[in-house]
Structure 1
Amino acid sequence: MPAPPPPASRFRLIPMAARDPHEPGRSASMLELFFDLVFVVAVSIASIQLHHALTEGHVLDGLVTYGLVFFGIWWAWMNFTWFATSFDTDDWLYRVLTIVQMAGVLVLAAGIEPAFTDADYTLPILSYVVMRLAMVAQWLRASRSDASIRRTAQVYAGGIAAVQVLWLLQLTLPDVLGRITLVLLIVVEIAIPVIAQRRGTTPWHPHHITERYGLFTLILLGESLLASSNAIIEAVHDTDALGPLISIAALTFVVTAALWWIYFWPPHHRSITSFRESLRYGYVHYFVFAAAGAFSAGIEVQIDVLTGHSELSDLAASFAVTIPIAVFLAGIWWIAIRDHADPLVNAVVPLAAVLVLGDPLIPVPVTLTAVILVLVIVVLVLHPPVSSPTPPLPDATGAQPRPTIGRRSRR
């Protein structure tokens, strides 16, 4: 039987104590699923704008802007997710602050196009600050409710608030200096959790966290399925390229299904059994997520090339597809597969990433990519993940808990 919720205060608020990282049956809440919906919008717009930038031949500017914009999307999602796994109370104030963050994501999405077309980051930065200030309020609330992580929560709140002042000051800088400052502020943002957790590690639920990452991956892979559908739609209207467009649609579906299979093959919850592993898992996922979003943009670029609406060459368009796939494969191998696979799998997956990266140098790049990924799936089916014991997670003080009689083992 799950433990009863703590009593609510006179304001109908539940004390924000750290949740049990071994809580049975923990899964994504309805609020978290609702939260993800706004990221569907933001990711879609970022992918569309990257597609337009690549098609028009603005490759470097497009990639840089995409990387900066996607950081805002990913960092807002990731910070909420890790906070929720530790302190989700689902009372009215928690919900209101979460909805404020959702509104900020929608405003950020509205500012993505000006960022790509005019290098104007004003709206994305302002909306980002709103989202982060909502997180400051959440951390301050946690610091008041749970003495065991009070200092950690205060460092989070103070660090995030201070950086938001710097983001607002960044808006006053000239273009070149402003872009350099953007990168520096990103580095400061990602350093805050590292600094804060030295004061005491907040607990996390491994199954809950990895389920949340899996759900976000599905959102991004859904963009690739949309690109596959768009290829069919274009084929209906452009009979001259009917055969190639249908082939692109079919191959995109196969590749997307293969990426899904590869991503969910390893036991992700075993990859975050320490704070160091959780940092690797959380941060490297930026490249996995960004690559998944860029893959759908690359497919759209391929469609434009086939229909004569792109400034890119066939070779460049092919790299727009294969580079994201290679990054996705390398990233997921590094953070989730390599520690739970036998030597053959650990050789095949990185090799597949290298081969996919070089596919544009042959006449049928997308076809060969699909074949390579299918062969990887065959290897994964024949070589299931290697079983290994999972060490206990740290509690809120960062100490490893001692096993107790009757504790259910986690697989």
Structure 2
Amino acid sequence: MVEKKVTWLELFCDLLYVAAISKATHVLLRVNEGEVLFVNLLKFNLIFIPVWWAWVGQTMFVNRFGKDKFHQRFLIIFQMVFVLILISSLSVDFDRYYIPFLVGFIGVRVLTAFQYFLVIRKGKREQNKAAYYLATRFWIGIFISSCSIFCSSWFKYVVLYIGIIVDIFIPLFGRKHLVKHPVNTSHLLERFGLLTLILLGESIISILSVLHPQIGRWNAIGYSVLSFSLIISFWWQYFDNLEKKIDKAIKTTGQMILYGHLFIYISLSMIAASIQLLFNEEISYYFILNFIFGAALIYFLSTTLVFHKYRYEDQKLKIFHLSLFLSIILSFYIFDIFIPVSGIIILLQINVFFVIYAKVST
């Protein structure tokens, strides 16, 4: 497989998307009567998924067809203008900012689809099939989502997200075309790994901005240490697997990587929000217990599935390992259900689980 390096422009573009994800995560910090309302949980996902898909679309194009030429650089920079419009429109008040949100998202997707048309070349049959399929089929989702501008009230959101869902499923429906022009696995893992690393860094910044040590409140220091320890555990587990356990020569469509990381990124955002909610002590005990353990379980299952497919055969986890991890996290959860503990103890338990997960899985 030809070696492909991540460009500085790709990394610069990632910073914009991380800012968008950070804004989406703040929706989870809106507490009402001790809980994050279901409507805010829904809005978080409705904001997060289009941002993730906009990033994935361009990432997958660059992985298969990117050449770092002038016209591709220009289109990526032009696309970043629409990303900025998208970021500026992210709010729990969807109705007020709906038009700029739609313009930003559609602009990103149109430019992505257009780039596929530009790479269709004579004599490259398999490349042309993959590029032509994506270039033409992505317009279906774009058209459906664009039609939402003619709808009113809540129905416009239904039309918008039907288009986004169709867009997301296009690569799955076209697997027979894409498998003949596989992704560059090494580059793709590096791209997702770098975004993960930036998100972990952003998590540290957002958490420490809340955890201010004060006289007589040493628990803030405890929260800071445990939060940092937890993020280090994520880093250890994720990047040791990425560097040491993964066969990067495997040729696939990369769909397990891109769809699996949706749940990895959602769970990281949920855990970052959970730490801040635990520290502020404004949240219902049983709500935050379900929220943080649910997020931990999502991260565990999604990373396990993503890495399992690409692990060397002799490095794959066995049923015994999965049973061990599930028994540990369920034991902590059941204990906390019947014997309420402080927020810092919950955070310590999550730390213990992820340290064990990192050590055993790497």
TM-score by length of structure 2 reads: 0.86
1:243 counterpart letter in structure 2? W
Residues 175 and 351 from structure 1, CA distance in 2 versus in 1: closer, same or farther, beyond 3 angstroms? farther
Match of 2:20 in 1: 42
Match of 1:300 in 2: 276
SS of 2:119's partner is helix
CA distance in 2, matches of 1:187, 1:175: 20
1:245 counterpart letter in structure 2? A
CA distance in 2, matches of 1:258, 1:116: 35
Unaligned runs of 5+ in 1: 1-21, 385-411
Unaligned runs of 5+ in 2: none
CA contact (8 A) 2:102 2:146 kept: yes
1:133 pairs with 2:110: yes
Seq. identity, %: 21
Match of 2:194 in 1: 215
CA contact (8 A) 1:287 1:328 kept: yes
CA distance in 1, matches of 2:231, 2:207: 9
Q: CA deviation at 1:60?
A: 0.8
CA contact (8 A) 1:108 1:128 kept: yes
CA distance in 2, matches of 1:209, 1:356: 35
CA distance in 1, matches of 2:78, 2:171: 22
Match of 1:196 in 2: 174
2:115 counterpart letter in structure 1? Q
CA contact (8 A) 2:127 2:181 kept: yes
Match of 2:296 in 1: 325
Residues 378 and 37 from structure 1, CA distance in 2 versus in 1: closer, same or farther, beyond 3 angstroms? closer
1:214 counterpart letter in structure 2? G
CA distance in 2, matches of 1:84, 1:290: 23
SS of 1:112's partner is coil
Match of 1:264 in 2: 239
CA distance in 1, matches of 2:66, 2:132: 17
Match of 1:394 in 2: none
2:250 counterpart letter in structure 1? T
Residues 44 and 123 from structure 1, CA distance in 2 versus in 1: closer, same or farther, beyond 3 angstroms? same
CA distance in 1, matches of 2:54, 2:272: 22
Residues 136 and 53 from structure 1, CA distance in 2 versus in 1: closer, same or farther, beyond 3 angstroms? farther
1:270 counterpart letter in structure 2? D
* Larger gyration radius, structure 1 or structure 2: 1
Q: CA deviation at 1:40?
A: 2.1
CA contact (8 A) 1:47 1:297 kept: yes
Residues 355 and 371 from structure 1, CA distance in 2 versus in 1: closer, same or farther, beyond 3 angstroms? same
1:330 counterpart letter in structure 2? L
1:374 pairs with 2:355: yes
Q: CA deviation at 1:294?
A: 2.0
Residues 58 and 342 from structure 1, CA distance in 2 versus in 1: closer, same or farther, beyond 3 angstroms? closer
CA contact (8 A) 1:47 1:293 kept: yes
Counterparts of residues 45-124 of structure 1 (less than 5 Å): 45-52=23-30, 57-113=35-91, 115-116=92-93, 120-124=97-101
Counterparts of residues 234-253 of structure 1 (less than 5 Å): 235-236=213-214, 239=215, 242-253=217-228
Task: Write the deviation string for residues 275-315 of structure 1: whole angstroms up to 9, x where unpaired.
Answer: 46x2222212111111112221222222322xxxx3x3133
1:180 counterpart letter in structure 2? V
Task: Write the deviation string for residues 241-274 of structure 1: whole angstroms up to 9, x where unpaired.
Answer: x122222211111111111212223247538835
Count of aligned pairs between the two proteins: 348
SS of 2:151's partner is coil
CA contact (8 A) 2:35 2:287 kept: no
CA contact (8 A) 1:266 1:337 kept: no
Match of 1:27 in 2: 5
Residues 331 and 119 from structure 1, CA distance in 2 versus in 1: closer, same or farther, beyond 3 angstroms? farther
CA distance in 1, matches of 2:22, 2:330: 28
SS of 1:204's partner is coil
1:23 counterpart letter in structure 2? V
CA contact (8 A) 1:137 1:157 kept: yes
CA distance in 1, matches of 2:27, 2:185: 34
CA distance in 2, matches of 1:117, 1:360: 37
CA contact (8 A) 1:151 1:199 kept: yes
SS of 2:241's partner is coil
Residues 295 and 356 from structure 1, CA distance in 2 versus in 1: closer, same or farther, beyond 3 angstroms? farther
CA contact (8 A) 2:234 2:358 kept: no
1:40 counterpart letter in structure 2? V
Match of 1:282 in 2: 258
Q: CA deviation at 1:352?
A: 4.4
TM-score by length of structure 1 reads: 0.76
CA contact (8 A) 2:203 2:272 kept: yes
Residues 72 and 86 from structure 1, CA distance in 2 versus in 1: closer, same or farther, beyond 3 angstroms? same
